[in-house]
């Protein structure tokens, strides 16, 4: 029902964007949507549904087609289109999308259902489920259906062959064993002698490294699709590779496409990332300087090749943290996991011989903990994941000790200790910290968390507490809904006295959300000194003149809010200027700085309105910044008079003007 409007929505839903991590089920959802329509079960108001696979369209990437031309290939009278595998969804302007949905994969109940159906033996399936629950990283990854398949493949093999070794607890362990299982299946299928259960055979080494090179080079490019020429560049013969059981029929698959050109991809992005990490580790141990220089930059030369493993891993981590979309995060986790002796033994000559001493491992752990990053928690948390891959649980233990200690206010946690993405359970923990007596939490940064209403409701319960002493709250990029905004405002109005800084940047609050916030700003108890919002009312209310804007704009700037107020390049008309001045005159006492740079459409009337404000006896303005506005760009005789007026009313202030 993704095309059906909600009861309070007035417009039709015509464009829906669905996102989700790789392998979580986006393609399946699109195919199910199409099947339900074709069988007459759902969405019968749609005349035609055409499944456009961008994997197929990538085959003509060197040619140019308009969207209309592409649609005419399938049907000349298309009205609605469902498209899958649109990896560049960020190129779609937000105004063109009516609804955004997310495929989140298996729930906890569905994970258990999968393993019980996949493993018919009740005792075995129960043991697998119990093991998955004991490892949080594995349990989280199992929301991806493909990872459930990998996990079931590995654990079923280990439990049925009476292997005495410990079951995998980390991702790297799991993928190392998966590679081993695939090699065993290859040998069994082609009758190549006795199965070698303990490590990857030397005979498989060459093909696996070629696949690793293919995986690495295209991971760097951000590509998950390969063509015959890509395989050949890495020394892989497509026909030979496809019959190389396990390596290719399971790890690499060939897809038939409408343009009759074969396209290849790994079963899942994580398999590509694992093989890429194996290849990079091999390049380090074998001192392949050219590959390392290409990856780490020209500063990595022959001198660096002699440096220890911890230095290499530190450089790789630095590069991954610079990635804006985190495309190297899992790759780096695998690299750190490959340092474990157990994985070194399984993969053998595939990795090469590396000097890995307890001292090097400890230096690597210390280096990870000392990383200082100025990025969102969802990026820096990967440092914590790398520690887990190395079986180092010290950070978790340190946090537990901190929570149990009685003198928490005297201790300071590092950034790695505080980096996390919140689930509803975690939101409850944060709320508990806000409610605690005494509460020492004064700065809370939740930026980058997708705070759905249940989690937001838990958090606002903490904000309402009279024990809450929070001074700054950062909710940047939290996708706050109208309901979440309502909950936030209610909490702030019930206990507003301590909060002085609120950051709501990159939240599409819409008009309804703005009105709710304005109710809080009007409150005489509001003590906010700084409010940041990139995409809400500061720009939208003043750049799009509508009848209702006068009311909203006036309220937005009531209350003791801004010491510094910036309206750079907002294209303020003289009408907007009149609303702004009206609001400022209603309560101007705290405003010290006003930046109107880049607003060149004020004209005489707009300048006159500003002069009225500057002439007010309550005006405390000390700095007025103006670039390319009335002072020079439209300097008329009247403007010259107004300029003298400014100097008269700002005898102790500063006037910045640039032509």
DSSP character string of 120-180: --HHHHHHHHHHHHH-HHHHHHTTSHHHHHHHHHHHHHHHHTT--SPPP-SHHHHHHHHHH
Contacts with 573 (C-beta within 8 Å, 6 or more apart), sequence order: 545, 601, 602, 606
Homologous superfamily, domain 428-658: Ribonuclease Inhibitor (3.80.10.10)
Please state, in angstroms and rounded to a whole number, the distance separating the CA atoms of residues 245 and 240: 10
Please state, in angstroms and rounded to a whole number, the distance separating the CA atoms of residues 580 and 27: 49
Please state, in angstroms and rounded to a whole number, the distance separating the CA atoms of residues 26 and 505: 29
* 3-class DSSP assignment, residue 443: strand
Sign of CA dihedral 405, 408, 413, 419: positive
Please state, in angstroms and rounded to a whole number, the distance separating the CA atoms of residues 226 and 211: 11
Which burial class, exposed, middle or buried, applies to 602 when counting CB atoms under 10 A from its CB (0-12, 13-18, 19+)?
Answer: buried
Q: Are 601 and 634 in contact (CB under 8 A)?
A: no
pLDDT of residue 363: 93
Helices (H), 479-593: 482-494, 510-522, 537-543, 549-556, 574-586
Identify the weakest region by mean pLDDT among 60-64, 155-159, 182-186. Answer: 60-64
pLDDT of residue 109: 92
pLDDT of residue 5: 74
**Rounded (5°) CA angle 655-583-600:** 45
Please state, in angstroms and rounded to a whole number, the distance separating the CA atoms of residues 288 and 283: 5
* Helix, strand, coil percentages for the chain (3-state, nearest 5): 50, 10, 40
* 3-class DSSP assignment, residue 549: helix
Greatest mean pLDDT among 171-180, 318-327, 602-611: 171-180
Say if residue 170's pLDDT is above 90: yes
High-pLDDT (> 70) share of the chain, %: 62
Tens digits of residue pLDDT in 520-549? 776 777 777 777 664 334 444 333 323 322
pLDDT of residue 217: 93
Cα 544 from chain centroid (whole Å): 30
Contacts with 639 (C-beta within 8 Å, 6 or more apart), sequence order: 604, 607, 630, 631
603 half-sphere exposure, CB direction, 13 A CA radius: 7
Q: Are 655 and 621 in contact (CB under 8 A)?
A: no
| Residue 625 confidence class, pLDDT cut points 50, 70, 90 | low
Please count the other Cβ atoms lying within 10 Å of the Cβ belonging to residue 41.
Answer: 9
Please state, in angstroms and rounded to a whole number, the distance separating the CA atoms of residues 129 and 134: 9
Please state, in angstroms and rounded to a whole number, the distance separating the CA atoms of residues 204 and 244: 9
In this prediction, residues 332-338 reach a mean pLDDT of 96
Domain chopping of the chain, boundaries: 16-102, 108-169, 203-387, 428-658
Element (H, E) at 565: strand 564-566
High-pLDDT (> 90) share of the chain, %: 17
Structure tokens at 480: 């706050």
Identify the weakest region by mean pLDDT among 383-387, 393-397, 591-595. Answer: 591-595
- Of residues 51 and 442, the one with the higher pLDDT is 442
Please state, in angstroms and rounded to a whole number, the distance separating the CA atoms of residues 624 and 355: 63
Element (H, E) at 530: strand 530-532
DSSP codes joined into one string, 258-327 = TTS--EEEESSHHHHHHHHHHHHHHHHHTT-HHHHHHHH-TT--TTGGGS-HHHHHHHHHHHHHH-SS-T
Please state, in angstroms and rounded to a whole number, the distance separating the CA atoms of residues 300 and 131: 41
Which burial class, exposed, middle or buried, applies to 229 when counting CB atoms under 10 A from its CB (0-12, 13-18, 19+)?
Answer: exposed
Please give the model's pTM, rounded to 2 decimal places: 0.62
pLDDT of residue 58: 63
Tens digits of residue pLDDT in 547-596? 322 222 323 333 333 334 444 434 455 556 666 676 666 665 566 667 66
Query: What mean pLDDT value characterizes the chain?
Result: 73
Please count the other Cβ atoms lying within 10 Å of the Cβ belonging to residue 95.
Answer: 7
pLDDT of residue 398: 77
Please count the other Cβ atoms lying within 10 Å of the Cβ belonging to residue 148.
Answer: 21
* 3-class DSSP assignment, residue 111: helix
Strand partners, 595: 566, 625
Please state, in angstroms and rounded to a whole number, the distance separating the CA atoms of residues 650 and 122: 82
Cα 291 from chain centroid (whole Å): 29
Q: Are 241 and 247 in contact (CB under 8 A)?
A: yes
Please state, in angstroms and rounded to a whole number, the distance separating the CA atoms of residues 514 and 109: 39
Please state, in angstroms and rounded to a whole number, the distance separating the CA atoms of residues 85 and 65: 18
Please count the other Cβ atoms lying within 10 Å of the Cβ belonging to residue 198.
Answer: 11
pLDDT of residue 597: 59
Q: Are 75 and 48 in contact (CB under 8 A)?
A: yes
Identify the weakest region by mean pLDDT among 46-60, 122-136, 495-509. Answer: 46-60
Q: Are 175 and 150 in contact (CB under 8 A)?
A: yes
């Amino acid at each position: 029902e993704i095309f059906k409007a909600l009861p309070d929505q007035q417009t039709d839903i015509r464009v829906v964007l669905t996102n989700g991590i790789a392998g979580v089920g986006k393609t399946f959802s699109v195919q199910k949507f199409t099947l339900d329509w074709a069988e007459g079960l759902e969405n019968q108001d749609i005349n035609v549904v055409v499944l456009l696979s961008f994997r197929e369209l990538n085959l003509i990437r060197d040619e140019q087609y308009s969207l209309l031309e592409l649609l005419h290939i399938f049907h000349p009278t298309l009205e609605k289109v469902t498209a899958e595998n649109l990896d560049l969804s960020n190129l779609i302007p937000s105004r063109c999308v009516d609804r955004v949905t997310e495929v989140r994969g298996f729930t906890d109940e569905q994970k258990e259902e999968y393993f019980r159906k996949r493993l018919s033996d009740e005792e075995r399936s129960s043991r697998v489920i119990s093991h998955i629950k004991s490892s949080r990283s594995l349990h989280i990854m199992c929301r991806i259906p493909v990872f459930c398949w990998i996990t079931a493949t590995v654990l079923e093999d280990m439990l049925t062959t009476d292997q005495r070794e410990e079951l995998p607890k980390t991702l790297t362990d799991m993928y190392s064993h998966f590679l081993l299982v695939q090699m065993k299946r290859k040998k069994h299928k082609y009758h190549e002698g006795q199965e070698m259960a303990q490590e990857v055979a030397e005979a498989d080494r060459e093909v696996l490294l070629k696949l690793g090179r293919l995986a690495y080079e295209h991971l760097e490019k951000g590509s998950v699709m390969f063509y015959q020429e890509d395989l050949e560049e890495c020394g892989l013969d497509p026909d030979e590779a496809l019959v190389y059981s396990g390596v290719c029929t399971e790890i690499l698959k060939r897809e038939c496409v409408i343009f009759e050109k074969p396209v290849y991809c790994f079963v899942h992005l994580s398999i590509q990332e694992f093989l890429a990490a194996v290849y990079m580790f091999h390049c380090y141990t074998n001192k392949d300087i050219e590959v390392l220089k290409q990856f780490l930059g020209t500063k990595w030369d022959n001198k660096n090749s002699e440096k220890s493993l911890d230095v290499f891993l530190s450089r790789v981590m630095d590069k991954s943290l610079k990635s804006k979309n985190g495309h190297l995060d899992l790759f780096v986790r695998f690299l750190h996991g490959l340092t474990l002796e157990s994985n070194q033994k399984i993969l053998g000559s595939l990795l090469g011989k590396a000097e890995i001493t307890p001292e090097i491992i400890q230096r690597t752990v210390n280096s990870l903990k000392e990383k200082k990053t100025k990025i969102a928690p969802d990026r820096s948390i990967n440092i914590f994941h790398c520690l887990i891959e190395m079986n180092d649980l010290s950070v978790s233990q340190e946090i537990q000790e901190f929570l149990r200690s009685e003198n928490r206010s005297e201790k300071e946690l590092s950034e790695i200790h505080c980096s996390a993405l919140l689930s509803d359970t975690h939101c409850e923990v944060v709320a508990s910290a806000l409610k605690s007596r005494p509460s020492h939490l004064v700065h809370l940064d939740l930026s980058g968390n997708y705070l759905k209403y249940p989690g937001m409701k838990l958090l606002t319960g903490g904000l309402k507490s009279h024990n809450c002493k929070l001074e700054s709250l950062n909710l940047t990029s939290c996708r706050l809904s109208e309901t979440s905004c309502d909950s936030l405002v209610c909490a702030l109005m019930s206990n507003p006295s301590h909060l002085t800084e609120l950051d709501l940047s990159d939240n599409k609050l819409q008009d309804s959300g703005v009105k709710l916030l304005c109710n809080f700003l009007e409150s005489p108890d509001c003590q906010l000194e700084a409010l940041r919002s990139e995409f809400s009312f500061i720009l939208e209310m003043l750049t799009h003149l509508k009848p209702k804007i006068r009311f909203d704009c006036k309220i937005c700037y009531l209350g003791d809010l801004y010491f510094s107020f910036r309206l750079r390049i907002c294209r303020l008309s003289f009408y907007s200027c009149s609303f702004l001045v009206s609001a400022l005159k209603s309560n101007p006492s705290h405003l010290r700085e006003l930046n109107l740079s880049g607003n060149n459409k004020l004209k005489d009337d707009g300048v006159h309105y500003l002069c009225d404000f500057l002439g007010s006896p309550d005006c405390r303005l000390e700095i007025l910044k103006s670039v390319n506005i009335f002072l020079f760009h439209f300097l008329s005789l009247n403007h010259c008079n107004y300029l003298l007026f400014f100097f008269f009313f700002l005898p102790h202030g500063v006037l910045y003007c640039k032509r």
